[in-house]
Amino acid sequence: MIRIDSISKQNGHQILFVEASAALNRGEKIGLVGPNGAGKTTLFRMICGREETDEGQVSTDRGISIGYFSQDVGEMQGRSAVAEVMEGAGPVSAVAAEMAQLEAAMADPARIDEMDDIITRYGEVQAQFEKLDGYAQDARAREVLAGLSFSQEMMDGDVGKLSGGWKMRVALARILLMRPDAMLLDEPSNHLDLESLIWLEKFLRGYEGLLLMTSHDREFMNRIVTKIVEIDGGELTSYSGDYEFYEQQRALAEKQQQASFERQQAMLAKELNFIARFKARASHAAQVQSRVKKLEKIDRVEPPKRRVSVAFDFAPAPRSGEDVVTLAQVHKGYGTRQIYSDLDFQIRRKERWCIMGVNGAGKSTLLKLIAGTAEPDQGSVAIGASVKMGYFAQHAMELLNGDHSVFESLENAFPQATQGSLRNLAGAFGFSGDDIEKKCRVLSGGEKARLVMAQMLFDPPNFLVLDEPTNHLDLLTKEMLIKALSEFEGTMLFVSHDRHFLAALSNRVLELTPEGLQQYGGGYTEYVERTGYEAPGLQD
């Protein structure tokens, strides 16, 4: 269906592909993986014809349709979310737009004199809309948007008024409605809540075309893909199986390659030692020459490529009191909307609470109340004795000064710290070499998240309040964070839509429901077993 034949590609001084090849076949569900900057997005763009290869070619079967979802959604405004989604459905979208204009004209008293012509034209356009199966398309568009957590009001409102994250969902819905022969999805799991993520999983499992996708959510990847294509060192390597199987196979291959490398190095050392000992002896000249020629012909085994991984290292935090946070009789609302009424909740030392709830249930609001960035309308929020809080919020990344470098940001946050300790801190969070001089305005979302975490954890807290901490982190960095947080000895309260993160770190679950708080002992895995659903919005 799509063939990648001996492609080479270079961006500036960076070599992305060197004679790389792969075959992507109809019906396959493929996860595309590789380190940041390896060339995943470039490969998508070459398949779509938006970028050229330097050498080799990417070819597709004649007549196949390709839908490409990228993180760059472009401008959206002036029409409804439904109309924007139907834009990907071909001519029906233009007909739907004209129908909407004619309906507005029929309701305009100022155009009463034109009404006969407007009604006549409306009849013609409506007939064309029916012929194109437009009403079914409209229903399907609404079904997809509902799956991605849109309300009816949001579907029919001006798409230009939506936030960037919701516009991403509109762009994703457009590709899903198209149902092309080949679907290329670059990080479709970004910006989705847990309910939307699980709906999308089900949709993609039922999709019959070729799927090629990237994702930083390992659980999402594991449930969908049956093949992995890895980009590493300019090569494309295919593995049958899900992401977990790929990790096992890659680790096994690395172990085998390391063993082969070490065996060959031992043999080479032995041969070189013989040559060095006897090269001056005429009696051994033939043997020495024979071994020199043998070494010249040997194919050298390369050591396995080592992934550079971030190592988060928490310094021990001071111990807090047993009562970390106590909320009593808390009321909180925005305008006429009441979020909490008579809320009572307590967090004790070493508890790790994850908060569950549908969109708008008040998850982030609860974190803000506890972090002190929002005040209750009534009631009290009391922080316990010797509690030192670290708060990670999405807006913290927007507050970074774009003109400051990574190092300057750390220096301004900790003016008393030595340069050496700050460089060590930056290195621990993945900023080494020239990266430490990068301006904040050019940092990726993942780099900004790491910098904010570095600032939060340098002077170690004993109570972590985390609002979607993994949103922008790649799979490798996320694994390192989970490993570090599992060893953290303090207290945690967090919101996340990453099920691997939830299962690995929680030992308590707080579910926000319209009827009030539901508390569950045990972590996310036990919560799923007890309730029978993975997210509150999925319950029957």
Q: Give the Cα separation of 487 and 256 in Å (integer).
A: 30
pLDDT for 446: 81
pLDDT for 40: 92
Neighbour count for residue 158 (Cβ, 10 Å): 13
44-49's contacts with Cβ under 8 Å and 24+ in sequence apart are 44/68, 44/70, 44/184, 44/186, 44/212, 46/7, 46/9, 47/2, 47/4, 47/182, 47/184, 47/212, 48/184
Q: Give the Cα separation of 248 and 271 in Å (integer).
A: 35
Backbone angles phi, psi at 32, to 5 degrees: -100, 120
In contact, 31 and 137? CB cutoff 8 Å: no
pLDDT for 89: 66
Record the pTM.
0.82
pLDDT for 499: 95
Low-confidence residues of the chain: pLDDT under 50: none
Residue whose token pair is 């034209």? 121
Burial degree of 453 (CB within 10 A; 0-12, 13-18, 19+): buried
DSSP 537: G
3-state secondary structure of 100: helix
Give first-to-last CA distance, the chain, whole Å. Answer: 40
Q: Where are the beta strands (DSSP E) in 64-176?
A: 66-69
Kindly state the greatest CA–CA separation across the chain. Answer: 115
pLDDT for 481: 87
pLDDT in tens, 400-414: 899 999 999 999 989
In contact, 449 and 469? CB cutoff 8 Å: yes
pLDDT for 312: 65
Which residues in 387-420 are b (16+ Cβ under 10 Å) and which e? bebbbbbbebbeebeeeebbbbbbeebbeeeeee
